[in-house]
Structure 1
Amino acid sequence: MARILVAGFSHSQGIGKTGKPYDMANLHHLAPIRGWDNERGKGVGVGYESGDRERLPLKKTPELVEKLAAIEYPALLEIITEPHPDDPLRNIVADIKLIRSLAMTENK
């Protein structure tokens, strides 16, 4: 189990351009922006980013999709992973536990 800062959740399903159905879901987690330094220059990274590298595939179940859709993001989550069925060198998120929402909205 690992704790990660999650910016959001996406779920898409439909029929692709080739006629093949698709159904995919991802967590979009926040990772520190990396600085860099080499002989040609230097870059400073401050804060967090969410890009293609920060997408985590989900073992999509109706229960997990429902759990994730109900969370106000950003949020701190504990994730439970298992080997990805198509690539055992990667992990897939099998379940989550909400530690706390970090959303700055007022509940009315």
Structure 2
Amino acid sequence: MKMTIFITGFQSASGVGKTSGKPYEFGKIFNLTPVRNWTSEKGKSNSKGFTVDEEKCVNCKISVLSRLAQLNFPCFIEADIEPDPEDMSSTIIVDATFVSSVDIFNPPKKVA
């Protein structure tokens, strides 16, 4: 499945587990998710906008991250997403292509 997502950055790690002694390698894409409103019998929230929710960040193949390292963040990518073969209840980005970036340090000038 292809999906265009707005990403703020990524993280990768590799090494050997402290207790297991087994090698590990993972990649994670930090993407924006909508702030969720909630209601309960004791109250409710009023939220709007986006946040980075680490629980909703998308796993990514390490090979894809090496290409993303060349990009300026934040940016939009078109991601190829598939079921994660190591955890069929989640998904993983297996390929990605650059769409466009957003320069937060040089925002567009206000037009009168």
Residue in 1 aligned with 2:42? Answer: 40
Distance (whole Å) between structure 2 residues aligned to residue 65 and residue 25 of structure 1:
7
Distance (whole Å) between structure 1 residues aligned to residue 91 and residue 44 of structure 2:
33
What are the equivalent positions in structure 2 for 1:1-20 lying under 5 Å apart? Answer: 1-18=2-19, 19-20=21-22
Runs (5+) with no aligned partner, structure 2: 107-112
Cα RMSD of the aligned pairs, angstroms, is: 1.6
Look up the SS of the partner of 1:27 in the other structure. Answer: strand
Distance (whole Å) between structure 1 residues aligned to residue 55 and residue 83 of structure 2:
18
Residue in 2 aligned with 1:86? Answer: 86
Distance (whole Å) between structure 1 residues aligned to residue 35 and residue 47 of structure 2:
5
Residue in 1 aligned with 2:24? Answer: 22
Distance (whole Å) between structure 2 residues aligned to residue 103 and residue 54 of structure 1:
24
Shift of 1:58: 1.2
Residue in 2 aligned with 1:74? Answer: 74
**Who wins on radius of gyration, i.e. which is larger?**
2
Distance (whole Å) between structure 2 residues aligned to residue 74 and residue 103 of structure 1:
8
Show CA shifts across 1:23-70 (max 9, x none).
110111100111112221011222211122221111222xx2221111
1:52 aligns with 2:54: yes
Q: Which runs of 4+ in 1 moved over 6 A?
A: none
**12-21 or 74-83, which moves further after superposition?**
12-21
Q: Percent identity?
A: 30
Shift of 1:8: 0.9
Look up the SS of the partner of 1:12 in the other structure. Answer: strand
